[in-house]
Chains A and B, each alone.
Chain A
Amino acid sequence: MTTLRVALLHLRIGVMNDLQYRVNFFLQILQSLLALGTGLVVLALVYSHTTELNGWSQSELLAVFGVQIVMAGVIHAVIQPNMMRLTEDVREGKLDHALTKPVDAQMLVSVREVQVWQAVDILTGAIVIGVALYRLGGDLGMLDVLAFAVALAFGAVMLYCFWLLLATGSFWVVNMWFLPELFEGVFQTGRWPVGIYPQWLRFSITFLVPIAFAVTVPAEALTSRLEWQTLALAGGFAVALFAFTRWFWRFGLRSYTGASA
């Protein structure tokens, strides 16, 4: 209980801190619109040459696109800033400040930073999903919406685990400046349904980098093509990945040597 309260308090401080810089809000909106526009142009371009991509219509792919934007918003607002701060703290020997606190260290390093304006993308993505659903016209059952929410939550947990696994690498590899570039590049694969990728790549972005679980599976729920076995697999994988991540984080911590503090 205390852990949860401390986490929420940290998040609130982070939000309040970032809310001071209001011009960033407008710049972020501008950037989100640019990214959205580019994505829509690409989609229009693809569907000017075909009517169906691997069995997905334009409106269905718009839903995939929306989910990817929402996930990107979550990552950029909460996950990535914390993980990059973690790698910097390890490099500079400042992680001591977090480790000596009387709460769980993994929780603490995961909630210290919030870039609240990046959350604009969560809204943008939600609007895109809304438009896609409207164009699809089908009526979405309560069960579909529930499955979507659950799949989205599983996806967020898996992406968090993946980022923490990478960031934990900084206990051994000191210089991790490339992480955002690497992740950003790989995460773009999520714009398209995993079905189009060759076998080896599909396997990689499902189990090595859980993008398929994080983006395609929720989108499948929205387009009523999700089977409950897939959702169960996503759940099982999320739990297993979380357990492994926790073990790996503790294992990495043993290699940590503070520099000063």
Chain B
Amino acid sequence: MSSVPLAQVGRARSFVDFYLTTMRTAVQQQFQYRAATYMYLIGMVTEPVIYLVVWTTIAEDSGGSVGGLTPGELAAYYIVWTFVRTMNIVFTPYGWEGRIREGELSGQLLRPLHPIHYDIAWFAGGKIPWVLFYLPIAVMLTLVFRPTFDVRPLEVVVFAVAIWGAYLIRTFNQSALGLVTFWTTRVGALFSLYIVLELLFSGRLVPLTLMPDWVQAVAWFLPFQWTFYFPIQTLVGQYTNAELLGGLALQAFWTAVGIGLFSLVWRYAIRRYTAVGN
């Protein structure tokens, strides 16, 4: 006869409690500063709108499509892009920089849970208001740019999972990068480099099929396309069932790699931490 020991039940429950409470706090904070959050989202949405307009212009100038994509398909790609982007907002290396430089981390280290849980829970909770605020923007973009969609039910299900996969991969990669601030508190240049790589190899700039072949080949060895291109394409592209599930498996793989990388750097980084006061 096997039964779960009481202590483990208690730990699991308090773990879930921690996540739910942190998420609730995030939701309330974001609603409190509605106007600010909205302005932030508008600033974020201009990025894909520019890409969309540029590529639509090219498609129309070259006889109705570019790289096999029509303006309607491009619109679908970039509108789903905005949703995926809202979902993969994570705690940035700048956040870690502030946390370490100002010694805020001391208090967090005293807690029984690793600080990364707080980040994951907080930004997961933030998704709820962000997506709510985002919906009117999505409606407006749809009315203006007229996307063409052809979506199967399974694709919606896979999309719903894939956006969280994207969130986790991005969280662990950027947090690992954030840990570099244990050695130097100027992570800006390194973070810019990360964003450049992400732009080129993730499908954030353009659908990867518009990239030169060698970029597409290299992208297979990097985690970036699983945070933009794959989740977007689950809805927009014409993946087979095998490709959909295989994609999820690869997201799981890159999440594991991210966790591994983060844990490894954390082990060395935390030994260097010193803080004054607090």
Contacts and interface: CB of A to CB of B under 8 A. Distances in A.
Interface stretch (A31-39, A106-114, A213-221): A31-39
Interface in B192-207: 192-193, 196, 199-200, 205-206
B36 A178 contact: yes
Interface in B54-106: 54, 57-58, 61-62, 66-67
B210 interface: yes
A140 interface: no
Contacts of A197: 53
Interface string A158-198: 00000000000000010111110111111011011000111
B180 to A, nearest CB: 14
A42 B46 CA distance: 16
Contacts of B260: none
Nearest to A53: B57
B57 to A, nearest CB: 5
Interface size class of A (residues with CB under 8 A): 35 or more
A2 interface: no
A25 to B, nearest CB: 12
Interface size class of B (residues with CB under 8 A): 35 or more
Interface in B158-199: 186, 188-189, 192-193, 196, 199
Interface of B: 33, 35-37, 39-40, 42-47, 49-50, 53-54, 57-58, 61-62, 66-67, 144, 186, 188-189, 192-193, 196, 199-200, 205-206, 210-212
A233 interface: no
B46 A185 contact: yes
A181 B43 CA distance: 6
B202 to A, nearest CB: 13
Interface string A191-216: 11000111011000000000000000
A49 B67 contact: yes
Contacts of A48: 212
